[in-house]
Homo-oligomer: A and B are copies of this chain.
């Protein structure tokens, strides 16, 4: 089912948590180290690393290690399929309302003839 790729499952799952959304938002301003990213959150590092892992599995972030510093980088284009999903819904609604408009026109046409 081309419309429902696994990628969408993992991206929407990744975004269903406020800590992970905040990390994505922070990384939108540029790469950051794990300790920098974890700093605003009142959670232990192992829990934070699980969030980092979920974002990495979804492909939303890449991480690289230099010495003892692990740096995270956002891969913005991996958000695109999720954005496109919302656009697709809008076109479904638009075609629905288009059909309702056509029906109204037909009903009006009938009324004019009577």
Contacts and interface: CB of A to CB of B under 8 A. Distances in A.
Q: How many copies make up the complex?
A: 2
A79 B87 CA distance: 11
Interface in A75-91: 76, 79, 82-83, 85-86, 88-89
A88 B88 CA distance: 20
Interface in A32-59: none
Please tell me the size bucket of the interface on A.
20 to 34
Q: Which secondary structure dominates where chain A touches chain B?
A: helix
Interface stretch (A9-17, A65-73, A105-113): A9-17
21 contacts: A1-B18, A3-B22, A3-B25, A4-B18, A4-B21, A8-B15, A8-B16, A10-B16, A13-B13, A16-B16, A21-B85, A25-B88, A25-B92, A28-B92, A29-B95, A29-B96, A76-B89, A76-B93, A79-B86, A82-B86, A86-B86
